[in-house]
Amino acid sequence: MKYLNLFLFALIFSCNNSEKSNNLKKTSNSEMVISRPLEFSKKTRNSLLLKAINQKDTLAYKKLSNFYLANDRADEFYVYAFIMATEHNYPKAYYDLYESLMFASVYINQFKRENSKKVAIYYLLKSAELNYKGGKNHLAKYFKNVDDIPSSKDYWLKEVESKVPN
């Protein structure tokens, strides 16, 4: 009887956990992301990376983005987002760079470091300029007046490049 009760408890507990792990959550840019850790084999990840970066496959990139960000691995993903942004001028990649820096700030109080914050805002501006909805939606956090929003280039020259220590 003791083992039967233990078995039933374990069965109920595992059902509750699997129910929670299949939930979906909405991100700030209205895309659906699975809240449980996604699983890709190393071979699949490498294949998606090659498609995204070498062929500008945006679907492959979005799958990778969801995988890395849902698994709290934004720091690993930063390099791929950077390549996708700078090589292909992909708006979501610029936004992911912004988000990666934002996630990092939770762990290392990054935004007490003004230069890092300015670089993150530059990425946000760049994503908004390329008409990425998520980027546009977050600009109000940093710019109160729509008329005061600079171009990413002007922002970089004024706020970042001129203040980077030699």
Give the pLDDT confidence of 13-29 residue by residue, as tens digits: 344 343 333 333 444 44
Q: Which residues of 5-19 are buried (b: 16+ CB within 10 A; e: fewer)?
A: eeeeeeeeeeeeeee
End-to-end CA distance of the chain: 73
Could you tell me the two tokens for 27? 């991100």
Give the pLDDT confidence of 99-142 residue by residue, as tens digits: 888 776 656 665 566 777 888 999 999 999 999 998 998 898 88
Non-local CB neighbours of 128 within 8 Å, separated by 6+ positions: 135, 136, 138, 139, 149
Residue range 37-61: average pLDDT?
A: 87
- Cα–Cα distance, 27 to 34 (Å, whole number): 10
Non-local CB neighbours of 138 within 8 Å, separated by 6+ positions: 28, 98, 124, 128
Q: What is the pLDDT of residue 97?
A: 94
* Helix/strand/coil percentages in the chain, nearest 5: 75, 5, 20
Burial of 98 from C-beta contacts in 10 A (0-12 / 13-18 / 19+): buried
Q: Is a pLDDT exceeding 50 seen at residue 76?
A: yes
Q: What is the pLDDT of residue 18?
A: 38
Phi, psi (5° rounding) for residue 26? -95, 130
Q: Which of 25-29, 63-67, 79-83, 121-125 has the lowest mean pLDDT?
A: 25-29
- Band of pLDDT at residue 154, cut at 50, 70 and 90: very high
Q: What is the pLDDT of residue 27?
A: 47
